Chain A
Amino acid sequence: MRASILRSPSPLPGFGLSFGIMMAILSIVVLLPIGALLGRGLMIGPADLWDMVNSRRIWSALSLSFRAALIASLFNLAFGLILAWVLVRYRFWGRKLVDAAVDLPFALPTAVAGIALTALYAPNGVFGQVLAPLGIKVAYTELGIWMALIFIGLPFVVRTVQPVIEELEREVEEVSATLGARRAYTLRRVVLPTLAPAALTGFALALARSVGEYGSVIFIAGNIPNLTEIAPLLIVIRLEEYNYDAAAAIGIAMLLISFAMLLAINLVQIWSRRRIGLV
Chain B
Amino acid sequence: MSDITLIRAESVTTEPRLVRGVVIATVLALIAVLLFAPLIAVFAEALRQGWAASLEAFASADAQSAIRLTLIVAAIAVPLNAVFGIAAAWAITKFDFRGKAFLITLIDLPFSVSPVVAGLALVLLFGVNSSLGAWLVANDLKIVFAFPGIVLATMFVTFPFVARELIPVMIEQGRAEEEVALTLGASGWRVFFTVTLPNIRWALLYGVLLCNARAMGEFGAVAVISGKIRGETTTMPIMIEMFYNEYLSVAAFSLAALLALLALVTLTLKSALEWRHADLLAATRRH
Using a CB–CB cutoff of 8 Å, the interface residues on chain A facing chain B are 2, 5-7, 9-15, 17-19, 21-22, 25-26, 28-37, 40, 79, 82-83, 86, 88-90, 92, 94, 96, 98-113, 115-117, 119-120, 125-127, 150-151, 154, 159-160, 162-163, 166, 170, 173-174, 177-178, 183, 187, 205, 208-209, 211-215, 219, 232-233, 235-236, 239, 244, 247-248, 251, 254-255, 258-259, 262
Contact = CB atoms under 8 A, between A and B. Distances in A.
Q: Would you list the 3 A-B pairs with minimal beta carbon distance, nearest first?
A: A212-B114, A109-B217, A215-B219
Contacts of B262: 107
B12 A40 contact: no
Given A108-B263, A111-B256, A214 B115 contact: yes
A198 B224 CA distance: 34
Contacts of A14: 90, 94, 188, 192
B62 interface: no
A98 B28 contact: yes
On chain B, which size bracket covers the interface? 35 or more
- If over half of A's interface residues share one DSSP class (helix, strand or loop), that class is named, otherwise mixed; here it is helix
Interface of B: 9, 12-16, 20, 23-24, 27-28, 30-31, 33-39, 41-42, 45, 80, 83-84, 86-88, 90-91, 94-97, 106-107, 109-118, 120-125, 127, 129-130, 152, 155-156, 159, 171, 174-175, 178-179, 182, 188, 191-192, 210, 213-214, 216-220, 223-224, 236-238, 240-241, 244, 252-253, 256, 259-260, 262-264, 266-268, 270-271, 283-284, 286-287
A43 B166 CA distance: 39
Contacts of B264: 107
B88 A109 contact: no
Contacts of A12: 94-95, 175, 178-179, 182, 188, 191
Q: Max chain A CB contacts within 10 Å: which of B34, B106, B124? A: B124
Contacts of A248: 120, 124
Contacts of B94: 10, 12, 14-15, 18
Given A22-B88, A163-B287, A183 B16 contact: yes
B246 to A, nearest CB: 13
A111 B240 contact: yes
B167 to A, nearest CB: 11
B30 A239 contact: no
B175 A212 contact: no
A7 B97 CA distance: 9
Contacts of B96: 6-7, 9-10
B252 A109 contact: no
Contacts of A154: 34-35
Contacts of A107: 210, 213, 262-264, 266-267, 270
B178 A82 contact: no
15 contacts: A2-B174, A15-B91, A21-B84, A22-B88, A33-B122, A36-B125, A103-B267, A108-B217, A111-B241, A111-B256, A126-B41, A151-B35, A163-B283, A235-B224, A254-B117
Nearest to A17: B87
Contact of B217 (A2, A9, A110, A219): A110
Contact of B156 (A18, A30, A83): A30
A235 B117 contact: yes
A129 B212 CA distance: 36
A34 B95 contact: no
Nearest to B174: A5
B219 A100 contact: no
A248 B119 CA distance: 11
A160 B83 CA distance: 27
Contacts of A31: 106
B121 A151 contact: no
Given A22-B88, A106-B210, A212-B114, 20 more contacts: A12-B94, A13-B188, A35-B125, A36-B130, A37-B121, A96-B271, A101-B35, A104-B267, A109-B216, A109-B256, A111-B217, A112-B237, A119-B45, A119-B253, A127-B37, A166-B286, A212-B113, A212-B115, A213-B220, A215-B237
